[in-house]
Structure 1
Amino acid sequence: MIQATRRAMFGAFGGAALAAPALFQGGKAGAQTVRALRFGHVQPPDGEVNRGILRAAQALQDFSGGRMRIDNFPASQLGGEREMLTQVSSNTLDMCITGPGVLGSWVRPISILEAPFVGRDFAHKLRMFEHPAVQASFRQLAEGRNMRPLEPFYYGTRHMTTRDKAIRVPDDLRGLKMRVPEAPLFLDMMRAFGAAPTPMSLGEVYLSLQTGVIDGQENPLPTIAANKFMEVQRYINLTGHILVPLVPVISNQTWTAMPEADRDLLRRAMREGIKLSDDLLTANETRLRTEFAERGSQVIESDRPAFQRALAPMYQRYEEVWGRGVLAQLEAL
C-alpha cells in the first residue's frame, strides 16, 4: 500500500514542485567527472535506514555507469542531526536525513508532518507531503535555509520505553526524564504529558539510559532494537504517538549544480533504497512486538486516547505555527 501510494504521488518529488535552474558544471570535453555526494546520518550501520541508503548508493552507481556515487557516513560520524543539518545548510555536507520535527527548528510549519497522533497510517502521511501549505514550507526550507527535501522514508511508529515504571496514562510520565530529539515539537509534547524532556543526539542515548541520566526514551521499535535500548530498559509502552517520516535533505547548491538528468538518477536511486528500508522496517515492526516480550521486556498497552486528549492545548497553540485550519485540512485528506 505504501509503495503504491509513493508511485502515484512522488514521481518527481523534489523536482517540479520545487524547481530551480540547474547550473552548468564544466570540464574537458569527453572527460568523465565522478560526482560524489557525502551523506551523513545518525542511523546505526545495521539499521533499516542505513541499509536503504547503501542500496541507494549502489543503485546510483549502477544507474550512472559509475559517474555518480553516494559516500555514506552512518552512526553520527559527522555529528548529531542538528550539526549535520547545519553542514547541509552551509553546503559543507551534501545530504543528511532527519524528521520533520527537527526540520521544524528551521521552518516551523514543517513540524506538522511529525505531530503526535496526526495521520491515520503512513499512506495518509505521504499524502500530507503534497498539500500546498507543506509544499510552501519546503520551498521556504530550500530558498531560505539551503536544504531541499527529497522523498521520505518510513521510520516506523514511535513508542516509549522506561526503566522503572510502566506508562499507561500521561500521569505516569510525570517527572520522568525522557530523551527526545532536539526539536521544539517533541519538547512541547513531553511537557504536555508532564515529563521532563531531555534533548540529546541518538548516539548518546544508550549510555544515558544505562547510567540513569534519563529514565526513558521514545522511538520506533526497530530503532529501539537496533540501538539495543532494551538492554537498559524494562518497559516497552505502546503509546504509538507518532507515525514517523524521515526526510532526506540535500544542499540546495548541490541540487542546483546537478543537471536534471542527474537529479532524476538520484531520485530513482533513492526510491530503490526507500523501498528496501520501508519493507524491512514494516516487517520488523510486526515481528518485534512478539520478540521483545519473548526476551523478557514488559510490553504495556498504553491508553492512546488519553495521551491524545492530553495534547489538546498543545494543538491549539500550534495552530499559530502550522497555519489556521491546516491541521484539519491534512487530517481530512
Structure 2
Amino acid sequence: MSKQTGLRRRALILSGAVALPMIGNARAQAGRALRFGHVQPPDGEVNRGILRAAEWLRERSGGRLRIDNFPASQLGGEREMLTQVGSGTLDFCITGPGVLGGWVRSISILEAPFLARDFPHVLRMFAHPSIQGSFRQLADSRGIRGLEPWYYGTRHMTTRDRPLREPGDLRGLKMRVPEAPLYVDMMRTLGAAPTPMSLGEVYLSLQTGVIDGQENPLPTINANKFMEVQRYINLTGHVLVPLVPVMSQQSWTSLPEADRELVRLSLRDGAAVSDRLVAESEDRLRGEFTQRGVTFIESNRPAFQAALAPMYQRFEEVWGRGVFAQLQAL
C-alpha cells in the first residue's frame, strides 16, 4: 500500500478512534474565537492544515466560530502551550504523544521507536482500549482533550560531521530531542547526549554547535532549513509520528454539542490537507535534498531497534505490561 493510499483510509479507520466522552452544554454561542498555538513554521504542512481547518470552521459555522492561528512558537514551546491548554487560557495546540507523555505517561507509547508500520496502523492503535483510557485520563485529570491524530511523517536523524550507520556512531553526540521523556531516554540509551529544546531553538543551536544533530521527518527538516547547517540525513526511520490536536476541556465543555461536532470535523478536514502534503513532501524531498548536496546514510535500522531493548524494558511498567506487543500486533 502506498503512503498516500494509506492516509486516504484514515476516515474509515477513525470512525472508531479516540471516541472520548462528550459532555453536553446547551448554551448557545453568539460568536467565539478559538486560539490555536503550535511550534510548526508558517509555511509548513501542518500549519497549512490548521489554516484549512480555520477556513472550514468559519464557513460551516457562518462566521460564529473562528480559529485564530499562532504558529512558530509565538505562544511558547510545546510544554508551555500544553500547560495553557490544561488551564483553559489556550484553546488548542498540537503535539506528539511523547510530549503528552509528560502529562499522562502511558500515552508516550504511541511514539515508541520502531512500533508502527504505517499510519493506518497508528490509527488502529488510537482505537485500542488502553489508549482510549489514557486519553480519558488526560481529559479528566489534566483538562486536555485529545482529538483525532494527524500524520507528521517518519523521523530520521541528521548530523553535522558524523554519519550514523550503527548505533555506536551516536556515542557522545549532542542530539536535540523534543521536550519529552521518551525521546530523552531513547537518545541516552543509544549513547548520545540528549538535549531537549523547543523546535524554534533548533536551527541556531545547530548553526552555533550547541548541538551536533537532531531528528525529525523530512518535511520538518526542510521547512526549518536544518540542512543548511547539517551534512547527513541518516535514514533511521525510528518513529512514525502522529501529531495529536488537543483542546482545553474547559473550552470543549463550553461549546454546544453541535459546535463540538463542527470543531471536530474542521480538524479532520485540516488533517486531510496536512496528511496529504506531508506524504507528498516525503516522496519528493529525498531527491531534492540529494540535488542540494545532502548525503543520505542507510542506517542499520535493526541494529538501532535492538540497541533500544533496555528502554523498552524500562517503559513496560509505564505503558502497561504487554501493551507494546498488543499494539504492535494490530
Gaps in structure 1 of 5+ consecutive residues:
27-31
**What is the match of residue 18 of structure 1?**
20
**What is the match of residue 164 of structure 1?**
161
Q: In the alignment, is residue 327 of structure 1 matched against residue 329 of structure 2?
A: no
Q: CA deviation at 1:5?
A: 3.1
SS at structure 2 position matched to 1:46: coil
SS at structure 2 position matched to 1:238: strand
CA 1:98–1:49: 2 relative to 1, 3 Å: same
SS at structure 1 position matched to 2:305: helix
TM-score by length of 2: 0.97
Q: In the alignment, is residue 309 of structure 1 matched against residue 306 of structure 2?
A: yes
SS at structure 1 position matched to 2:9: helix
Gaps in structure 2 of 5+ consecutive residues:
none
Q: In the alignment, is residue 2 of structure 1 matched against residue 6 of structure 2?
A: yes
When the two structures are aligned, how many residues end up with a matched partner?
Answer: 326
User: Which of 65, 69, 90 is equivalent to 2:66?
Assistant: 69
Q: In the alignment, is residue 287 of structure 1 matched against residue 291 of structure 2?
A: no
Maintained 8 Å contact 2:17/2:124: no
CA RMSD of aligned residues (A): 1.1
Q: Specify the code of the residue in structure 2 equivalent to 1:52.
A: G
Q: Specify the code of the residue in structure 2 equivalent to 1:58.
A: E
Question: Identity of paired residues, percent?
Answer: 72
Distance 1:90 1:22 in 2: 20
TM-score by length of 1: 0.96
Q: In the alignment, is residue 204 of structure 1 matched against residue 206 of structure 2?
A: no
Q: In the alignment, is residue 242 of structure 1 matched against residue 239 of structure 2?
A: yes
SS at structure 2 position matched to 1:45: coil
Give CA-to-partner distance per residue, 1:270-309, whole Å, 9 cap, x none: 1111011111110100111111111011111111001000
SS at structure 2 position matched to 1:247: strand
Structure 1 segment 17-166 matched on structure 2, within 5 A: 17-25=19-27, 33-166=30-163
SS at structure 2 position matched to 1:120: coil
Q: CA deviation at 1:8?
A: 1.8
SS at structure 1 position matched to 2:211: coil
Maintained 8 Å contact 2:26/2:257: no
Q: Specify the code of the residue in structure 2 equivalent to 1:23.
A: N
Q: CA deviation at 1:13?
A: 5.3
Give CA-to-partner distance per residue, 1:4-25, whole Å, 9 cap, x none: 43222323755xx322322343
Distance 1:5 1:322 in 2: 27
Give CA-to-partner distance per residue, 1:80-115, whole Å, 9 cap, x none: 000000000010000000000000000000000000
